[in-house]
Structure 1
């Protein structure tokens, strides 16, 4: 299917190709919907194989942001920016300045912020040319790992709700939980889970992060390609998307999948396959909404206490989704989509 057909099928409003020869910027801004308000969605920096891969990722993520904001009952729509490049490239400063000029031309239809591969410093360069940016240095979202922590906190609350539904209790003491990915969100989630008494199984491309997790969280390390085979009650994908696919779904040893990664299912049909395997799936855009909730709270001038309280509501939303999926005997993703669409 061509990009244009996907744009039409999924109801996108805009796909902006950003090319600045002076800075060597190649980026895409996808705006899925502004029906409920300006599109929110961070900016991802990633070494995409080609422009089509970058555009498709921006589109998938933008659509997810629309549903994420709606499910969290936020007065915003969904968008995403992706920049083709490498973290640490000295030319990135000029690239993010150029990106800021492209964002400014959208006149507030899209607000950006940090995402995979980007930092508050990158947003500072964007902010030199547009006010439509969050997570800059000194802001709440640009302070430490606040946004990542709020995402992790929402996933933690969602895991508790999921555990009560499947295992009969919110308590995670002694529960084996496999965490895939030890980036900012995965690490923060491990911290919450460890404090709750969970028995952690961890994997990451970084051997040093795995060693640190073994020391700090008494975690059991497993190879990246073996985490799907790890016997556990809960599997928490916290890396990139598409990890539930033809090659992994039959290997899963868990009863619950609840993690922070976006677009965990390579294809929507895998949601039904998980249901048939009696695995409860927490729809990713519901459980990982803590970051966008924190961003919205910053734009609305709310403080840390109220933000945490809003993120905690993710548990209530998940309970509603699970109850609806049980009532209709359908996949949780379909119940979540309907929940979000009713609020758009």
Structure 2
């Protein structure tokens, strides 16, 4: 593996640790980007990486994104991220989860984890047996916590509505054509919220059967995963894995707006420039997809005080996502810079690196 500190994704991270526990078979990377605003918060991705360098790339990029996401959301949290490298069978054992919990505990509260791709609420419960620095745990009715997916989906839905109002001048998504990439917990939640308001949907997922089932449920159209980015539509909503907006795909987009929950959607800064030059309104991923981390962070902070997380406060903060997007877009109009660059600059100031 190339030295990570020479990588383009290295951003003066405070701490990057490779964890290997021979007894359990655990191999993981924990990347702490910034604790300027508070403990670094960000979920753990359980994934099979054919190339370990890709795991390091994810850890570095995602942890930086969490610093920006938490800062822009107004949370008193820094940014961190972890990836657990699984084998091809996606094997995980109680011993691996215990060893991973011990690794988080060794950070002494500077890193707080939660669910991410491939992780479940049950995984968080297992990890919580070894460390208190975990969130996304089962919550009682009316309290913050639990699966962050529905909260992420809610914020993305509100962000899409804001983008439609800003670019298309429409106060509803009724009749608006949205192409949704990814039909899992987040993408599926976004699609259901849009469908309830009368949006016209085209869906795709790497699991074609899942996309077809959701399309049948919502009266939508399902297409092959390889075709979704070229569907003529008003809004393209990426809700799967990142780095999908590159030179080739940006050139093929047939939409007015890109607004979805996938992390690190733009592959390189040049691709962000290309997106802006095409006149496509972009909702920066870490601004629009902050609903989940808002929920679990308020859960964690409340638990440190021995009280339940305030669900009303979670909903209030998620409701602020459209205004935060509008602030980015207005700055874009004033500076003629792309939304990704503007949002990065705003976040860097907030974490003391501007």
* Shorter-chain TM-score range: over 0.9
Instruction: Give the TM-score, by structure 2 length.
Output: 0.93
2:151 aligns with 150
- Deviation for aligned residue 1:306: 2.0
Residues 1:54 and 2:61 are matched in the alignment? no
2:310 aligns with 303
1:135 aligns with 136
1:18 aligns with 19
- Deviation for aligned residue 1:186: 0.3
- Deviation for aligned residue 1:73: 1.3
Q: Is the partner of 2:153 in helix, strand or coil?
A: helix
- Deviation for aligned residue 1:283: 0.7
Q: Is the partner of 2:33 in helix, strand or coil?
A: strand
Could you tell me how far apart the structure 1 residues matched to 2:259 and 2:180 are?
Answer: 10
**Per the alignment, do residues 16 and 243 of structure 1 end up closer, same or farther by CA in structure 2, a change over 3 Å counting?**
same
1:192 aligns with 193
CA deviations on 1:85-134 (whole Å, 9 max, x unpaired) are: 15985643211110011111110000001110011111122112111111
What is the aligned-residue RMSD (CA, Å)? 1.7
CA deviations on 1:27-84 (whole Å, 9 max, x unpaired) are: 0000000011100000110001132221111111000000001111111100001001
1:65 aligns with 66
- Deviation for aligned residue 1:207: 2.3
Q: Does 213-222 or 180-189 show the bigger shift?
A: 213-222
State whether residues 38 and 77 of structure 2, in contact with CA within 8 Å, keep that contact through their aligned partners in structure 1: yes
Gaps of 5+ in 2: 303-308
Q: Is the partner of 1:56 in helix, strand or coil?
A: helix
Q: Does 174-183 or 119-128 show the bigger shift?
A: 119-128
Gaps of 5+ in 1: none
**Per the alignment, do residues 161 and 49 of structure 1 end up closer, same or farther by CA in structure 2, a change over 3 Å counting?**
same
State whether residues 181 and 205 of structure 2, in contact with CA within 8 Å, keep that contact through their aligned partners in structure 1: yes
Q: Is the partner of 1:156 in helix, strand or coil?
A: helix
Instruction: Give the TM-score, by structure 1 length.
Output: 0.95
State whether residues 120 and 142 of structure 1, in contact with CA within 8 Å, keep that contact through their aligned partners in structure 2: no
Residues 1:314 and 2:321 are matched in the alignment? yes
State whether residues 145 and 296 of structure 2, in contact with CA within 8 Å, keep that contact through their aligned partners in structure 1: no
1:282 aligns with 283
Q: Is the partner of 2:248 in helix, strand or coil?
A: coil
- Displaced runs of 4 or more, over 6 A: none
State whether residues 9 and 57 of structure 2, in contact with CA within 8 Å, keep that contact through their aligned partners in structure 1: no
- Across the two proteins, how many residue pairs are aligned to each other? 342
Residues 1:169 and 2:176 are matched in the alignment? no
State whether residues 73 and 343 of structure 1, in contact with CA within 8 Å, keep that contact through their aligned partners in structure 2: no
CA deviations on 1:13-38 (whole Å, 9 max, x unpaired) are: 01111000111000000000001110
Could you tell me how far apart the structure 1 residues matched to 2:246 and 2:341 are?
Answer: 18
2:265 aligns with 264
1:34 aligns with 35
Could you tell me how far apart the structure 2 residues matched to 1:235 and 1:157 are?
Answer: 15
Q: Is the partner of 2:295 in helix, strand or coil?
A: helix
**Per the alignment, do residues 6 and 174 of structure 1 end up closer, same or farther by CA in structure 2, a change over 3 Å counting?**
same
Q: Is the partner of 1:153 in helix, strand or coil?
A: helix
